[in-house]
Amino acid sequence: MRGTEAWAPGKLILFGEHAVVYGRPAIAVPVHQVQARARVSVGPPGQGCVVHAVDLGETVRIAQAPEDHPLALAVRLALKALALEPAPDWTIQITSTIPVAGGMGSGAAVSAALIRALFRQAGQEPDPECLSRLVYQVERIHHGTPSGIDNTVIAHERPIWFVRGQPPEPFDPSRPFTLVIADSGIPSPTRETVAHVRQRWQQAPEHYEALFDAVGAIVYAARGAMETGQIEALGPLMDRNQALLRRLGVSAPELERLLDAAREAGALGGKLSGGGRGGNVVALVYPEDAPRVCAALERAGARHTWITTPGRGARPEEPLSPDPTP
Ligand code: PMV
């Protein structure tokens, strides 16, 4: 039985979440230590396409699945782009190590791996723009009004400067830097925090526009620091971004506790990442301090921690195994 495989990384929003929905820039980075994988095999005959989401224990028969089922939509979009009609008899197995609803782009990565694997099975490789566009259409089911940042960074697999409605700009930091990511274990659907911010903005648009402008200024400063290699400057910028996220109402006591623990263990700064209220926090660290910061975060209640190094070079051929954490 012939088969093909593809994978896609997780992602992290480093600066600018929420404000990005209102036209301000954001910076996101791929996280290769977590990934979604899709494996396509041929057959059994007469079944059309069937997806097995192994971690969820779910089997989706595409021909019978509802229109708005995310996995089914991803398959249908890929088959349409490949002009494969009627659907071939393919079985697709999906696995993922990305926490669900945790701000690491699990939905977008699963869609990206799935679509890429189907293209490969058909003898093609989707270019990042095409992949990003298809994944975005699936993201709309998960998020309602996604800014498009998740699908973009996951499809391009490089740090991204992102402004809604403008072509994304992949860029490379002039020096790599080390981040510790901690999963709070609190699921927090992005759709809800985005709706919460929207409600507040509708009640006091001027106040919230000013907060979004302040976030935007931090994102510009962060890009400057990355491009000029002033890595230490990113720590205080993360702290300032976090203070604004608190004022947007998307932090949570558990996230603040994790960030305090990271700073006490030597992190240079940190913030929540993604929709907030739960999900992940990220902290900038000196490489030698990373294990200590991971340990402190785990003592403070983190479910899981990862060490990642944006800017260390091109996409790895194979996904990286998670960095060991003490
Ligand atoms: O929760 P995540 O990582 O999917 O990120 C959401 C980012 C927001 O800016 C809050 C929403 C968006 O669509 O950009």
- Please write the tens of the pLDDT for every residue from 94-136: 999 998 877 888 999 999 999 999 999 999 999 999 999 999 9
Query: What is the overall mean pLDDT for the chain?
Result: 92
What lies within 8 Å, CB to CB, of 278 at 6+ separation is 101, 102, 184, 185, 186, 187, 188, 252, 254, 255
* Per-residue confidence band for 315, with pLDDT thresholds at 50, 70 and 90: low
List the strands of the sheet with 269-273, edge to edge.
269-273, 280-285, 178-183, 304-308
- Is residue 194 lining ligand 1, measured as CB closer than 6 Å? yes
Gap between the Cα atoms of 148 and 268, Å rounded:
29
Ordered structural domains, the chain, with CATH: 4-170 (3.30.230.10), 178-308 (3.30.70.890)
Strand 178-183 with 50-53, pairing: unpaired
Cα 90 to middle of ligand 1, angstroms: 32
Gap between the Cα atoms of 52 and 46, Å rounded:
17
Cα 211 to middle of ligand 1, angstroms: 17
pLDDT at 1: 47
* Per-residue confidence band for 287, with pLDDT thresholds at 50, 70 and 90: very high
- Is residue 20 lining ligand 1, measured as CB closer than 6 Å? yes
Residue 152: name the closest of 94, 210, 108 by CA.
108
pLDDT at 51: 97
* Catalytic annotation, pick one of 55, 127, 150, 289: 150
pLDDT at 314 over 60: no
Dihedral, CA of residue 320, residue 169, residue 80 and residue 57, to nearest 10: 30
* Per-residue confidence band for 318, with pLDDT thresholds at 50, 70 and 90: low
Would you give the DSSP letter of residue 82? T
- Is residue 258 lining ligand 1, measured as CB closer than 6 Å? no
- Interval 178-189 mean pLDDT: 93
Would you give the DSSP letter of residue 27? E
Tokens 């012939």 identify what position? Answer: 2
pLDDT at 189: 82
Gap between the Cα atoms of 150 and 12, Å rounded:
8
Cα 18 to middle of ligand 1, angstroms: 6
Tokens 């402008």 identify what position? Answer: 213
- Is residue 102 lining ligand 1, measured as CB closer than 6 Å? no
**Packing angle between helix 106-121 and helix 128-143, nearest 10 degrees?**
140
> pTM of the predicted model, to two decimals?
0.90
- Is residue 75 lining ligand 1, measured as CB closer than 6 Å? no
Residue 94: name the closest of 6, 153, 2, 187 by CA.
6
Q: Is 55 a catalytic residue?
A: no
pLDDT at 322 over 80: no
- Interval 141-146 mean pLDDT: 74
Q: C-alpha angle with apex 125: 124 to 126, nearest 5 degrees?
A: 115
Strand 269-273 with 304-308, pairing: unpaired
Cα 17 to middle of ligand 1, angstroms: 6
Question: pLDDT digits over 267-285, tens only?
Answer: 999 999 999 999 999 999 9
The stretches of 82-204 forming alpha helices (DSSP H) are: 106-121, 128-143, 149-156, 190-203
- Interval 201-211 mean pLDDT: 98
Higher pLDDT, 124 or 148: 124
pLDDT at 161 over 60: yes
* Per-residue confidence band for 325, with pLDDT thresholds at 50, 70 and 90: very low
Q: Which residue puts its alpha carbon closest to atom 5 of ligand 1?
A: 274
Cα radius of gyration (the chain)? 20
pLDDT at 103: 80
Higher pLDDT, 250 or 188: 250
**Packing angle between helix 128-143 and helix 149-156, nearest 10 degrees?**
150
- Interval 293-311 mean pLDDT: 95
- Is residue 139 lining ligand 1, measured as CB closer than 6 Å? no
- Interval 131-144 mean pLDDT: 89
